[in-house]
Structure 1
Amino acid sequence: MHSTRPSRRLAKTAAAGLVLAAALATTPAGAASLDTDTPDARSTPDRVLYWNNAILDAFRKVGGTPGPLTRGGAMMNIAIYDAVNSINTIGKPYLTKDTTAAGKYGALDSAVDHAAYTALKNAFPSVDFTTAYNNARALPDRGTPADRQYGQQLGTKTAQAIIAHRTGDGSTDTTPYTPTTGPGHWIPAPGKPVGAPNWGNVKPFALTSGSELRPAKPAGFTTPQDMLKSPQYAAQVNEIKAIGGKNSTQRTPEQTQIAHYWANDVDGTYKPVGQQYDHTIAIYKKYRPYGQSYDSAKLFTKMSVSLADAAIAIWDSKFNTDWDLWRPQHAINHADQVPNPDLTADPTWQPLEKDTTGNSFSPNFPTYVSGHSGIAAAWAGALKNHFGRDDLTFTAGTDDPYAKGITRTFTSLTAAAQEKADSRKYIGVHLDWDNTTALTLGYNVATKTTTRF
């Protein structure tokens, strides 16, 4: 599905080439690709790409679980989308459409900047976005002073609409988590905060509730007790025991690289959510080299809303059911607590996952279902919806401290999502059914959310 574009296309002349070169020369580092299909035949950097790159620094500063990061990203992109959609119709409005803005193409850059800036300040109050805003406003702008003033009013208004809409959405719920004791139940890490235990109750952006697409119980077992004593459960645990351990001899060098490449679990990285944003930018630059904000606004809104609702649905599965399943490390360390003849406890086993000081850890929330996997599938589904194809070959990098400078190449969106899911086994923090079930959930979320636009 492609967005509607204004009919005039920039003539491919020598003069146009000079305009493009001038715009490139004045674009700050990291300001993203250029707009070469504007109604007034001028080139400006695509502000949608600019702000979806700028938000990565917020993810690095805020850290934590996916929920708040995806919420902020969705708020920013919805504010941008409703502003862009008011100027040039690209789909159904999310909250508001200002009909007086129709055809005011000169207001586009200012509208996107002010929509993003206003939404981000609300979503991430601990982060100062002043420099990002000033750098955006210093970029070439297609509008007159009057256009820019109008764009400021429009972008601020659409941002205020999404801010009001998200007020009281449950994202500030700090109700303490009470763990369930007993074999099979997740064991919180001592002295560390539980990872957003109430996020499954947050109001979704497109789904009706976090439980709307709740996955089935692992392997169809009716009770946790039946699961724990089954051969299927033993096979799941023993696989991770073999390939996911800190000292595994069965994991290949490439699998170790894959594990770290997709991790981004430690704070200070752009987190697993930011990696999907970063990869979306890389794909957009490759397949829409002459794209513009009318197209990119729709893509990034589909993507960011899909990720936000996937995070809510995943956390509903983790915390709002009686399947608060323990992590592989707990399952292996305490296998002697389970009546399963196919399991042997190893109290010293640790996952490959490690912090910046080299200490092994597992994310501090239940294992079923996998956040990395579900978010990857929601991302792949949203991009497949937008581009109308899965076979997008791309090369992209990572922020993880144990994979610095590494890039990997993928032949399709689903291949990238599958590798991200597999990485959670190699790094020792998820069972296979955590990943396969989450992939299905993520694709289902993307199908539901992308129809909104």
Structure 2
Amino acid sequence: MSPPISPRHHDFARQLRRLLSVVLAVALASTLTALVRPVPATAAPGDLILNGTFDNGSTQPWWTRLASTSTTVNAGQLRVRTSATVGKPVWEDLVGHFEFGVTAAQPYRLQFDASADVNRSLRVSVSRADTPFTSAVDQSVALTSSTRRFTFDFASPYGDPKAVLLFHFGGQAASTVRLDNISLTPLAVDPATDPILYWNGVLLATYRALDLPPTTSSREAAILHAAMHDAAVSVTGVGNPYRVRVPVSYPGTMDNVVAPSLHAAIDRAAYDVLTALYTRHGRSFTVALGDAVKRRPSGVNDAEVARGETVGAAAAAANLQARANDSSDNTTAYPVQENVPGAWRPTNGKAAVSPNWGLVTPFALTSGRQFRPGLPAGATDYEDLLGKEAYDTQVREVRDYGGQESSLRTDDQTQIAFFWANDLKGTYKPPGQLFSHTRIVSEQRQLGILANARLFGLVALALADAAIAAWDAKYQTSIDLWRPVTAIEATEGAGWQPLSKTRDGVPYTPAFPAYISGHATFAGAWSAVMKGFFGTDAIAFDATIDDPHAVGVVRHMTGFDHAAEENALSRIYLGVHYRFDAEAGLATGRSVGTYVFANRLRQ
């Protein structure tokens, strides 16, 4: 339901509708005081404003609201002679430009030169042409006899094919105001000012600072990006929310219609979520929030910021509350089966990581077992698996290609192994690398705020559910498969070690069962979402890495499937997974990603 509109809103709506009809009939009537000349109004390339320089001597298509206000062009400037309207609303006397389109979340730059014969203020706004007259930018400037250049950068909180640029002269003494070089131009997307990218970067820095498993980190990313997405959807009205569409009303009159700031809404949602999730780890995001504020567009007032923060806080609260009892805090100990051949047992002296994560409530899936793969090699139990030739073949493959002293592994395969590793403290872990690659593609494709809110939201939800699905297969089936280092030691004795190693060169194997590969599941989910979002796999990009054993390495990916498949195979070369771990992980992840894309954050 639309918010109640004050009588003054109704009056102005009638005025604007009448003005629109008069603009269309300006050649037949003289209701508007615009001086019409037979010179076509044009705009510079990319400029939304027609005849903002007045070089052709015409005032067309500019109009005025009051018959007592006159507009003429003199020396290439628009001269606006206003009548006295002291005590009247600021919108009592207007000069405006109708019907140009603005896009939600698109950054724009409004510029104009202005001076006056007396010191006075001038209010300028870009807004909807009808109730509730929501302003994308609304600023007041001080005019003197000296010409000044005014510039306001802003991101429209809504999309509207018929927006209006208004100069408000009401409520002041009579004067002559000179306007020139009026322009409204879309700005190129600047990743540095995108709050989605900014807070994702803060998240990745947090990953590096904390040694959290990919299970926990993927869950926290999903809450963060879902909240930011819901904040953006609530402010702009574009798209469908994940958890909540925060109601946004527009109180006030035409003098003060306050639209929530999109940036403030996203910033507050992110800050509240990160603070709630990471304070227990000793992390503070106050400095990060201050930096985010500095990145906001200039044309936003305090009231718009306050309303945006209210929306963002509500989006954060709803998404945090939804995960309050999702079983992610289940600390039930894992019953290690030390004496069962084939069963996982601790490596590197570390206890099982996240043994109950497959029981966590998914973000989109119906359960962690929704896409559960069959047991490895079609086995029925440990004894059956260890007796299969396929098992022996895969153990030998890891032994031959994934060992520290392998003579078969190529230099490129070694690079692949470490490039996709990200297992160690100080790295952004597997979800972080895939977020990093999402950022690379986003910047390459010049996505805006709303597109990034949806893309990163989908990726985050898919990665979170990929973790749940992978850990379900690792711990919740009848085979919790031992790692290659344990399998090889059982048949060949001690001595073989995987290529995988710590920063100090100590052999390292992640502390959870092998089947299925978490890396492969994450990669499959990511590739499915990316292909769904962009509608193709044929998007090449140069991928980067955070692992200390592949510093500065960049690998060229021909598409999302290429990246996912290389990621999955890397675990064989690293010596920590079998081929069926990789293949089943990829398939499971792709099912997860396809499901998430089809059922969440739909446009």
Which of the numbers 190, 204, 210 marks the counterpart of 2:362? 204
Question: Cα–Cα, structure 1 residues 279 and 149, in superposed 2: closer, same or farther, change >3 Å?
Answer: same
2:451 corresponding residue in structure 1? 295
1:330 aligns with 2:486: yes
**Comparing 428-437 with 143-152, which one deviates more in the overlay?**
143-152
SS of residue matched to 1:192: coil
The one-letter code matched in structure 1 to 2:464 is A
The one-letter code matched in structure 1 to 2:312 is G
Equivalent pair of 1:256/1:426 in contact (CA under 8 Å): yes
Question: Cα–Cα, structure 1 residues 422 and 69, in superposed 2: closer, same or farther, change >3 Å?
Answer: same
The one-letter code matched in structure 1 to 2:461 is V
Which of the numbers 80, 84, 102 marks the counterpart of 2:228? 80
1:401 corresponding residue in structure 2? 548
* 1:68-147 correspondence to structure 2 within 5 Å: 68-100=216-248, 107-125=261-279, 126=281, 127-141=283-297, 142-147=299-304
Question: Cα–Cα, structure 1 residues 350 and 86, in superposed 2: closer, same or farther, change >3 Å?
Answer: same
Give the alignment's Cα RMSD to 1 decimal.
2.3
Equivalent pair of 1:35/1:293 in contact (CA under 8 Å): no
1:255 corresponding residue in structure 2? 413
Equivalent pair of 1:59/1:271 in contact (CA under 8 Å): yes
SS of residue matched to 1:99: coil
Question: Cα–Cα, structure 1 residues 431 and 85, in superposed 2: closer, same or farther, change >3 Å?
Answer: same
Alpha-carbon shift at residue 317 of structure 1 (Å): 0.6
CA distance in 2, matches of 1:232, 1:36: 58
2:133 corresponding residue in structure 1? none
CA distance in 2, matches of 1:110, 1:177: 44
CA distance in 2, matches of 1:99, 1:186: 50
2:346 corresponding residue in structure 1? 188
CA distance in 2, matches of 1:321, 1:368: 10
1:6 corresponding residue in structure 2? 103
Equivalent pair of 1:87/1:104 in contact (CA under 8 Å): no
Question: Cα–Cα, structure 1 residues 84 and 372, in superposed 2: closer, same or farther, change >3 Å?
Answer: same
Alpha-carbon shift at residue 105 of structure 1 (Å): 6.3
Equivalent pair of 1:210/1:316 in contact (CA under 8 Å): yes
1:213 corresponding residue in structure 2? 371
Question: 1:122-173 CA deviation, whole Å, 9 max, x = no partner?
Answer: 1222122222111101113352211111111110110011111110211111
Equivalent pair of 1:410/1:416 in contact (CA under 8 Å): yes
Equivalent pair of 1:306/1:449 in contact (CA under 8 Å): yes
1:46 corresponding residue in structure 2? 194
1:25 corresponding residue in structure 2? none
2:512 corresponding residue in structure 1? 365
The one-letter code matched in structure 2 to 1:166 is R
Question: Cα–Cα, structure 1 residues 105 and 384, in superposed 2: closer, same or farther, change >3 Å?
Answer: farther
Alpha-carbon shift at residue 261 of structure 1 (Å): 0.7
TM-score, normalised by the number of residues in structure 1: 0.88
Alpha-carbon shift at residue 266 of structure 1 (Å): 0.5
1:418 aligns with 2:565: yes
Alpha-carbon shift at residue 242 of structure 1 (Å): 0.3
**Comparing 386-395 with 221-230, which one deviates more in the overlay?**
221-230
Alpha-carbon shift at residue 232 of structure 1 (Å): 0.6
**Comparing 416-425 with 189-198, which one deviates more in the overlay?**
189-198
2:534 corresponding residue in structure 1? 387
CA distance in 2, matches of 1:191, 1:285: 42
1:274 corresponding residue in structure 2? 432
Equivalent pair of 1:37/1:292 in contact (CA under 8 Å): no
1:172 corresponding residue in structure 2? 329
**Structure 1 runs (4+) greater than 3 angstroms displaced:** 7-15, 34-44, 101-106
Alpha-carbon shift at residue 404 of structure 1 (Å): 0.6
1:350 corresponding residue in structure 2? 497
1:61 aligns with 2:209: yes
The one-letter code matched in structure 1 to 2:264 is S
Question: Cα–Cα, structure 1 residues 90 and 236, in superposed 2: closer, same or farther, change >3 Å?
Answer: farther
SS of residue matched to 1:124: helix
More helix as a share of residues: 1
Alpha-carbon shift at residue 221 of structure 1 (Å): 1.9
Alpha-carbon shift at residue 452 of structure 1 (Å): 1.4
The one-letter code matched in structure 1 to 2:367 is S
Question: Cα–Cα, structure 1 residues 324 and 148, in superposed 2: closer, same or farther, change >3 Å?
Answer: same
CA distance in 1, matches of 2:533, 2:585: 21
Equivalent pair of 2:157/2:260 in contact (CA under 8 Å): no
1:378 aligns with 2:525: yes
More strand as a share of residues: 2
The one-letter code matched in structure 1 to 2:234 is S
Question: Cα–Cα, structure 1 residues 108 and 354, in superposed 2: closer, same or farther, change >3 Å?
Answer: same
Alpha-carbon shift at residue 98 of structure 1 (Å): 2.3
CA distance in 2, matches of 1:366, 1:164: 31
Alpha-carbon shift at residue 41 of structure 1 (Å): 5.3
SS of residue matched to 1:148: helix
Alpha-carbon shift at residue 38 of structure 1 (Å): 7.4
SS of residue matched to 1:409: strand
CA distance in 1, matches of 2:290, 2:203: 14
CA distance in 1, matches of 2:581, 2:313: 41
Equivalent pair of 2:235/2:311 in contact (CA under 8 Å): no
Equivalent pair of 1:314/1:374 in contact (CA under 8 Å): yes
CA distance in 2, matches of 1:164, 1:134: 26
Aligned residues: 420
Note the residue ranges of structure 1 that are not aligned, 5 or more in a row.
Answer: 16-33, 336-344
Question: Cα–Cα, structure 1 residues 132 and 193, in superposed 2: closer, same or farther, change >3 Å?
Answer: farther
SS of residue matched to 1:402: helix
CA distance in 2, matches of 1:8, 1:54: 21
1:226 corresponding residue in structure 2? 384
2:169 corresponding residue in structure 1? none
Which of the numbers 151, 154, 162 marks the counterpart of 2:308? 151
Larger Rg: 2
CA distance in 2, matches of 1:105, 1:284: 27
Question: Cα–Cα, structure 1 residues 293 and 10, in superposed 2: closer, same or farther, change >3 Å?
Answer: closer
1:432 aligns with 2:579: yes
TM-score, normalised by the number of residues in structure 2: 0.67
